[in-house]
């Protein structure tokens, strides 16, 4: 039987913001998500606690290519691991310049390295394209790739037995706080996201593993909350989009709105800060406004 270990990568020195999952079965070791390169040190320390080095990892399964999930994949590839990702993610991982530039437009070039560390390209012979419902066998472990767009067009949730590793399509929930949907640009798609939630629920998972952060024992309630919040945030944003409120004003108002939501659900300031590390609210403003804009023009 395999073991699932949650590795805390201590992003920004905080606990329970970004996870990587180590799944071990005999001599087979698989990582789901790598975190960014900036937390490489934490990752190697966490692997060391299990008696492992990066070179012991056989394969890395990525949910998507955002830096907080995939930023350190190139280092594991250099250490020998195969990197599995949706086909649309392959060109970005082999030549990450465009990915880096588009993240720099969101976060600001000056903040990039401190937040995410470095990103180098991955050799073509280490990258494996994986699409919907493909079964991936690594040693005696069999994973199913579930294409689950909505948060990112190339998003994959990984199923192992009745466990699903949900990447970001399963939302963010930290330390018993509320469930929230991370909505960064450029791929947010409400209808796709809801379809993905349905697809995951149809699999009747017993447990979910969220990259932000950890194990969820009640998947049905979790997904219901996620869908409710997705609708709530999207309709809040639609009003401001239609009123053409200046973007900085929307960001301020949305941060105040989500802070109130958090307080109502019992999240204190410290917990709210962790949510902001994992899923900055200002970023969801850009993502959801873009969604409504594209929708109005019938582009999506
Ligand atoms: Zn993401």
Task: Give the per-residue pLDDT at 170.
Answer: 98
Mean pLDDT in residue range 143-152: 98
Task: Give the per-residue pLDDT at 33.
Answer: 98
- Whole-angstrom distance, CA of residue 65 vs CA of residue 43: 18
pLDDT of 278 above 90 = yes
Mean pLDDT in residue range 128-136: 95
How far is the centre of ligand 1, averaged over its atoms, from the C-alpha of 152 (Å)? 7
What tokens appear for 254 in the block?
Answer: 């949305």
Task: Give the per-residue pLDDT at 300.
Answer: 83
CB-based contacts of 217, cutoff 8 Å, min separation 6:
207
- Whole-angstrom distance, CA of residue 164 vs CA of residue 215: 10
pLDDT of 241 above 90 = yes
How far is the centre of ligand 1, averaged over its atoms, from the C-alpha of 149 (Å)? 11
Q: C-alpha 281: how far from its chain's center?
A: 15
User: What residues sit around ligand 1, an ion, with C-beta below 5 angstroms?
Assistant: 66, 168
How far is the centre of ligand 1, averaged over its atoms, from the C-alpha of 168 (Å)? 5
How far is the centre of ligand 1, averaged over its atoms, from the C-alpha of 81 (Å)? 22
What tokens appear for 162 in the block?
Answer: 């009745």
What is the per-residue pLDDT across 7-26, written as a single tens digit (0 to 9) for each?
A: 999 999 999 999 999 999 99
- Whole-angstrom distance, CA of residue 181 vs CA of residue 109: 25
pLDDT of 70 above 90 = yes
Task: Give the per-residue pLDDT at 113.
Answer: 93
- Whole-angstrom distance, CA of residue 131 vs CA of residue 275: 30
| 106 — pLDDT class (breaks 50, 70, 90) | confident
How far is the centre of ligand 1, averaged over its atoms, from the C-alpha of 207 (Å)? 20
How far is the centre of ligand 1, averaged over its atoms, from the C-alpha of 95 (Å)? 19
> What are the residue boundaries of the structural domains of the chain, listed by start?
3-225
What tokens appear for 298 in the block?
Answer: 């019938």
Mean of the per-residue pLDDT values for the chain? 97
Mean pLDDT in residue range 250-259: 96
In CATH, which superfamily holds the domain spanning 3-225?
Ribonuclease Z/Hydroxyacylglutathione hydrolase-like (3.60.15.10)
Task: Give the per-residue pLDDT at 8.
Answer: 98
């Amino acid at each position: 039987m395999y073991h699932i270990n949650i590795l805390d990568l201590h992003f920004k020195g905080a606990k329970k913001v970004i996870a990587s999952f180590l799944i071990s079965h005999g001599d087979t070791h698989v990582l789901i998500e790598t975190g960014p390169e900036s937390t490489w040190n934490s990752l190697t320390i966490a692997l060391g606690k299990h008696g492992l080095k990066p070179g012991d990892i056989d394969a890395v399964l990525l949910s998507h290519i955002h830096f907080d999930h995939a930023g350190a994949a190139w280092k594991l590839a250099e250490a020998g691991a195969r990197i599995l990702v949706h086909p649309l993610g392959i060109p970005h991982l082999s030549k990450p310049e465009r990915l880096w530039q588009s993240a720099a437009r969101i976060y600001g070039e000056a903040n990039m390295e401190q937040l995410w560390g470095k990103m180098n390209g991955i050799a073509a012979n280490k990258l494996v394209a994986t699409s919907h419902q493909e079964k991936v066998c690594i040693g005696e472990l069999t994973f199913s790739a579930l294409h689950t767009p909505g948060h990112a067009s190339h998003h994959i949730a990984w199923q192992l037995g009745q466990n699903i590793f949900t990447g970001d399509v399963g939302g963010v929930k930290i330390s018993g706080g509320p469930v929230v949907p991370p909505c960064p640009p450029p791929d947010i798609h409400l209808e796709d996201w809801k379809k993905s939630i349905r697809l995951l629920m149809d699999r009747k998972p017993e447990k979910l593993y969220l990259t932000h952060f950890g194990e969820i024992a009640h998947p049905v309630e979790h997904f219901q909350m996620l869908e409710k919040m997705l609708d709530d945030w999207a309709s809040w944003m639609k009003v401001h989009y239609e009123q053409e409120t200046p973007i900085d004003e929307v960001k301020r108002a949305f941060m105040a709105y989500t802070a109130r939501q958090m307080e109502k659900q019992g999240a204190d300031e410290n917990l709210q800060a962790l949510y902001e590390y994992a899923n900055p609210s200002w970023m969801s403003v850009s993502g959801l406004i873009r969604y409504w804009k594209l929708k109005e023009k019938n582009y999506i």
